[in-house]
Amino acid sequence: MAKEKNSDLMEKIISLCKRRGFVFPGSEIYGGLANSWDYGPLGVELKNNIKNLWWKKFVQQRDDMVGIDAALIMNPKVWVSSGHLENFSDPLVECKKCHHRFREDLLEDKKKCPDCKGELTEAKQFNLMLKTFLGSVDGWAEWAELLDRLIILNKAKNYQEIDELIKFGVDAYHKTGESTFYFRPETAQAMFVDFKSVLDTCRKKIPFGIAQIGKAFRNEITPGNFIFRTREFEQMEIEYFIKEENWKEMFEEWRKEMWSWMTNELGLDKNSVHELDVPDGERAHYSKRTIDFEFDFPFGRKELYGLAYRTDFDLKNHFQEPPYEDIETKEKIYPHVIEPSLGVDRSVLAVLCNSYKEEDGRIFLKLNPKLAPYKAAVSCLKKNEPNLVKKAEDVFHDLKKEFSVDFDNRGNPGKFYGSQDEIGTPYCIMVDFQTLEDDTVTVRDRDTTKQERIKINDLSNFLKNEFI
């Protein structure tokens, strides 16, 4: 029963996202592409508000943080040194009957196929790095040509040419290898690789952090649950560089920061967030301690963010010499690292699930006003009264200079309030006949539905108090 209710909730959220322009299925007019999603006009505002709030809190308002924005495709040696080419994998199992593939650690019953109950194979490690080719070698096309040619030669029993072609093939194989690159599976490595350049340009002393927001790519075995698990997603990550002896204390500090972000900025209900101290043997290859922050999504309790103590693993792998000189002792060291790692798309989803409310016959998103796509919306009581319409347009254009504001020209208060509630607009401003007499408007609060009259001249300050 509870399960049914939860899947209903997820369907309602997905439908609202599509109907109101938060998130659309990707490439939809071509039949879509499984598990790819596009953020629409309201979704991009919500997502940008989350990213901007994060950047403001963790980069701009701190003295010990700088940001970077690195390339998505890095030198493949990065992934050799970081251990990703060897270790960044998930256990893959395949059903012997229907041949569907699954990530073993996410299965409740590890012996039976969840789709047809067939027997599953033994798990093998599947690397999640997403490959691409750069430059004038088109690996797959050249391989296809080569195979076609081999088939023809084989039919003609032309063994000498087959021999030569195989030698050419080995050569081509190496060339394909040289032109194979990887989309980054995490933003983190750029912060390690650029560590010295940042130090040389920013005069920072440890403890300090490098932050980045950007796309990451993983060839996930089983993507799904809407924008929760996709092959292309965005991360907000910090690599916070410290002295080894301080790691426990710093870990606790970042743990508090994560809670503050989730409950204050995102406004998540603290009872819906849980910590999982990831046990030995289940942590990523680089981590000595990891806490997963899990959120009660409608489809179950799942990882929202991670906080990891990455030791000096990454800097040691990338730099032959210790890259940091202690200002006081002049000792050269490899700083250790605490990493708060946050998914942007999972943040959007958690915020939507947390804020979706159905009360007294109305649907509304109880978003933190700072995250709301529109801070306010303006309308007028009647659409056929030119004076009212003109006044409402003036109020709208004035507010638009400072805030993200919507305009509704339907002249239908019921529809206006309902449609703005559904997208989480905190304030609805109505121009009515009294406005023409005393320059006041009604301002309706999304959560209480209470209205108050405010002078048009005071609207900007009223909204500033709420949002800035």
Q: Is 442 exposed, middle or buried (0-12, 13-18, 19+ CB in 10 A)?
A: middle
Asked if 225 interacts with ligand ATP (CB under 6 A), we say no
- Choice from 47, 346, 370, 446 touching ligand ATP (CB under 6 A): 346
Residue 122, both tokens:
């033994």
Q: In this structure, are residues 212 and 54 in contact, taking their beta carbons and an 8 Å threshold?
A: no
Decide if 45 contacts 404 (C-beta within 8 A): yes
Cβ count near 458 (within 10 Å)? 13
Q: Which residues pair with 216 in a beta bridge?
A: 233
First to last CA, the chain: 43
CB of 271 to ligand ATP, least distance (A): 20
Q: How many whole angstroms from its chain centre is CA 168? A: 44
User: Is residue 335 at the binding interface for ligand ATP, with CB under 6 A as the rule?
Assistant: no
The two structure tokens encoding residue 241: 């560089």
User: Which residues are registered as beta bridge partners of 360?
Assistant: none
Strands 89-94, 101-103: pairing kind: antiparallel
**Residue 230 in the binding site for ligand ATP (CB under 6 A):** yes
Among 306, 323, 369, 373, binds ligand ATP (CB under 6 A): 306
261 binds ligand ATP (CB under 6 A): no
Q: Least distance to ligand ATP from the beta carbon of 38, Å?
A: 15
Residue 35 in contact with ligand ATP, rule: CB under 6 A: no
By CB under 6 A, what part of segment 231-260 binds ligand ATP? 233, 235
184 binds ligand ATP (CB under 6 A): no
Angstrom distance (rounded) from CA 31 to CA 26: 9
Question: In whole angstroms, how close is the CB of 341 to ligand ATP at the nearest point?
Answer: 4
Chain residue whose CB lies nearest ligand ATP: 343
Q: Which SS3 state, helix, strand or coil, does residue 258 take?
A: helix
Minimum Å gap between C-beta 303 and ligand ATP is 4
Residue 113 or 348 with smaller CB distance to ligand ATP: 348
Residue 303 in the binding site for ligand ATP (CB under 6 A): yes
Please list every residue from 138 through 167 that binds ligand ATP, using CB under 6 A: none
47 touches ligand ATP by CB under 6 A: no
Given the rule CB under 6 A, which residues bind ligand ATP? 218, 220, 229-230, 233, 235, 303-306, 341-343, 345-346
